[in-house]
Chain A
């Protein structure tokens, strides 16, 4: 028995560590194939611009055709000399990449995340099999320095904050709260920085798909999964909203006394998950964050919730998971129908999860009506799968039943997060993924979305009417208000889109206030039954003022931000869906009615002596509560009178989404009516 120790040991160790390559390169040399060798794998440029040369050599045994040399999408400011040539065995050719900085956009190089792509006849690289006859095997060279740490920091600082909170010694509950507050302040500060530095003029036409603050690296090369974060006009408002609502919610959590460490650890993990969803530009990354956010939410409702917390927690979890598994299937199906490209490392990739590539390059091929899945048209079935996943989150009728349960049982701060941010993930997902990846199917489904949106508005309002529990009333008002977003985006008009995203942001701030106010009264009365209250304004005047302000904002009083979103939605939708918009607009009346009626029952009339003998249980709002309410109130007031800052922020990004949707499939939605 001879064992050749050294070589075998090395081999075994290498195999165990997975260091051995696929071994294909060795086999290639002796076959009659061309082989493309590129002399560099990365290109670096100074901020001031410059040129770099890349040499392409045929190291194979037969002539190599270079079909095309181009810059990948997402390489704004970069240009490459064209090359279309057949290289004989051993022959080389050079291409020059030039970077010209845009004087209007200093620092734009940092936003470039594309690279150099070479299409050749080297069969070892992936080929777009669907363009029959055309051989286009693709490989690439990376562009270096496309890193902005801003979004990564906003996402992962809460995550590390979670670890920090866990490390706080047992029993130091106050310290835990302060640590959590300090951690939550960081993303808020960064969000302000983001708001100040976000370039409002950037559009898809200015390159890089309108993305800013990009960070881009390869995560799992085997499946072409990338770590890719960035913001555009669509996501930037949501990122800011997440940071803001999370910070406010930490303040609203100050009263937590049970398992404080666990609570704030879960809370910060939730913030990381939400932030990740809004900044992800890779589909799998998006999905991972989407799911990561479920775990803490389950525990936050289940441990710190009300009497029926177990039921509410599992209902929330099951509903959302059922929706997201459909999203997972659609995600994989879409991946396998995407076209070959290069990863950010320059490595060739047969398919890609890059959401912007899927949107702007592959959307057309998904729309191919010959493409089927389970016998249905591919785009439509994928659209429905994705839409159900997002609709559950919105929540859209008939998938809304988890929401009132979750809200009623969840602690105040978690209701704030749930209504303030989580619901927006549904509408954001539809705009980003359904609208982006499957624009033709979106046009096909536009009318249905508008109908469902209207049902949401009216059904939510009627349900809110019937509620005896104040928190349930606010929960149903969320169902109703999210319906406006659906109607607005289904209109495929600029005004409608702006209205939908405005409504998303405004609902986030207004509903946060509402839930904090519900929490305030619950802390004092330990009940939320509307009929038990009365004359509260005499006992808690400041509270009543905030309450009135928030309710007025919620019912859409002109001058407060709730009005802006609604009016834009109606203006945008009316030219497209007349009858539906008229129906939806009647919702405003019912909304006003149930808001005013609830307010009247709680704050006006006589103090309910039969139930509340001791008025000392009802001190007015504390400083802490005021501090959580004032920032939201200020934003509501400001955006109510002067919505321009928000419209400027989101405008260009939304125009791009709209242009993309209308460019595909033509006049679909308009022709329906």
Chain B
């Protein structure tokens, strides 16, 4: 565990991001005329430097920074690279997306505003911190940072009723969830006398199975569940995804969800992957209490409800929202396995999910920019009017269903394999529920396919998408189909990324004593 000064050099990626955010705001202010292009360039430069800084300071070691508030370990580095990639892709897409631009009658001021990019970077910073937090306080703060920026971005189209509705609903749900989680954390503090996750874990040994501990953890789950949009904390999801500008929706569906899972793994796991019993988590918090059962029930409910609700949607963004709820359920399966295989599967699935889900949203975005509506009926016949976007959409939807040879299949394969490898009736049943859900999900994904290819178009006029969008979509399609080519290196990289720094109670106590 490093002190504040020594920590700084491992904190460079976050520092770079912070400097970038400030630079965009200050330059916007000083330059007089705001320019969207300039903010974009600054954002990309910041993200590039962040990525390089992360790669350069990445050495496979695990360290606790700032007296154990956050960790710098391969696990965090994996998520940092993932978040940077998402930010770059969404940032690029937002440059051309009319949805991320605020129009004002007669005035053009907002249109060029750099706020969007400053917010995007702040969100990225929040997620960086979420993936590294090893202290309940830090976890709460970073989660709130992500949430608050998300509220603003969801309501970015200020004069759009749906966007405002989305932001308001998001704030209300988010406020309640944070409050409940904070209450749970305060109970944990009461049990442990510290907010450090290591100390809390130690305290949990002595209080295992007590009513207070169970209540506290359940309350905490409300906050995490809200972030990953797990049932029953998913209610905000469809409204926000539908109302928010599409680039923001795309970002929310991938970034904060992944960050939520990073936090969940840190909270429930004890990071001892490859420890005394290789491949088994022996986190006290995990094994001494009914969490596997509880998480399993949440996972089953999330998959089933997400998929069933998606069937009846007529708006594509809403449908994809429910689909992403269902995918949170699949990801939770990995956590239920509660071991190294499960974590590996979660991380791998997040990578595949990034490509396929972002791909689907990018198509929606590109077509919306070209003047197409967001209802499934608007997509009738676009397989022939917009050949390329429709093909990308088809690939992403097949991958989301989990059909080989697309990446989504291999992601799901690892998840189900993790469950069946550990075995036991509950995990096998969960795998069965999950796999039947994949079959159900085909039904609503196929509704989009059906509209695109089987139904008559309203007009024959070809739809042109912006070249920038086309490149972005192309990347996603290549990722979804081609990930299998680099699968082995990817698995190797992800397995090395499972190493986590875990605060030890004694070390924390020593630091506090000093």
Contacts and interface: CB of A to CB of B under 8 A. Distances in A.
A and B associate in one complex: yes
23 contacts: A5-B56, A11-B58, A17-B493, A18-B488, A18-B489, A19-B489, A19-B492, A292-B405, A299-B453, A302-B453, A309-B454, A310-B450, A310-B454, A314-B450, A321-B401, A321-B439, A325-B439, A329-B416, A329-B431, A332-B413, A336-B421, A373-B428, A374-B432
Given A222-B487, A302-B450, 16 more contacts: A1-B8, A1-B12, A3-B56, A9-B55, A18-B489, A20-B496, A220-B488, A222-B491, A298-B449, A303-B453, A313-B454, A314-B443, A318-B446, A333-B428, A336-B421, A373-B428
Contacts of A287: 404
A375 B425 contact: yes
A8 B491 CA distance: 21
A569 to B, nearest CB: 33
Contacts of B9: 1-3
Interface string B449-492: 11001110000000000000000000000000000000111111
A223 interface: yes
B491 A295 contact: no
Interface in B1-49: 8-9, 12
Given A18-B491, A288-B404, A310-B450, A3 B57 contact: yes
B409 to A, nearest CB: 7
Q: Which 7 A-B pairs have the closest CB atoms?
A: A18-B489, A18-B492, A288-B404, A18-B493, A1-B9, A325-B435, A12-B55
A295 B398 contact: yes
A5 B59 CA distance: 11
Contacts of A171: none
Interface residues of A, number: 50
Interface string A221-262: 111000000000000000000000000000000000001000
A266 to B, nearest CB: 11
A328 interface: yes
Interface of A: 1-3, 5, 8-9, 11-13, 15-20, 22, 220-223, 259, 287-288, 291-292, 294-295, 298-299, 302-303, 309-310, 313-314, 317-318, 321-322, 325-326, 328-329, 332-333, 335-336, 373-375
Given A223-B417, A326-B435, A333-B420, A16 B453 contact: no
A222 B421 CA distance: 14
Nearest to B387: A262
B435 A329 contact: yes
Given A3-B56, A18-B489, A291 B453 contact: no
A325 B416 CA distance: 11
A318 B442 contact: yes
A156 B491 CA distance: 26
Contacts of A259: 384
A22 B450 contact: no
Interface in B397-417: 398, 401, 403-405, 409, 413, 416-417
A322 B487 CA distance: 26
Given A313-B454, A336-B421, A12 B58 contact: yes
A116 to B, nearest CB: 24
Contacts of B432: 329, 374
A326 B8 CA distance: 51
Contacts, number: 128
Contacts of A314: 443, 446, 450
Contacts of A292: 404-405
B193 interface: no
Interface residues of B, number: 49
A221 B8 CA distance: 39
Interface string B158-172: 000000000000000
B454 A16 contact: no
Contact of B488 (A13, A221, A317, A333): A221
Chain B CB within 10 A, most for which of A2, A19, A318, A325: A325
A328 B57 contact: no
Contacts of A18: 488-493, 496
A63 to B, nearest CB: 25
Contact of B493 (A16, A313, A333, A373): A16
Contacts of B56: 3, 5, 8-9, 12
A1 B10 CA distance: 9
Nearest to A294: B403
Chain A CB within 10 A, most for which of B12, B60, B429, B443: B60
A56 B432 CA distance: 45
Chain B CB within 10 A, most for which of A9, A259, A310: A310
Nearest to A289: B404
Chain B CB within 10 A, most for which of A303, A329, A336: A329
B293 interface: no
B438 interface: yes
A336 B423 contact: yes
A332 B415 CA distance: 11
Contacts of B74: 15
A288 B420 contact: no
A240 B12 CA distance: 63
Contact of B454 (A8, A9, A223, A302): A302
A335 B439 CA distance: 22
B495 interface: yes
A15 B58 contact: yes
Contacts of B495: 22
B279 to A, nearest CB: 12
Nearest to B443: A318
A486 B417 CA distance: 32
Nearest to A333: B420
A340 to B, nearest CB: 14
B8 A11 contact: no
Contacts of A22: 495
B294 interface: no
Nearest to B432: A329
Chain B CB within 10 A, most for which of A3, A288, A309, A332: A332
Given A310-B450, A375-B425, A317 B409 contact: no
Contacts of A15: 58, 60, 74, 493, 496
Contacts of A318: 439, 442-443, 446
A325 B443 contact: no
A27 to B, nearest CB: 10
A221 B490 CA distance: 12
A630 B98 CA distance: 60
Nearest to B74: A15
B494 to A, nearest CB: 8
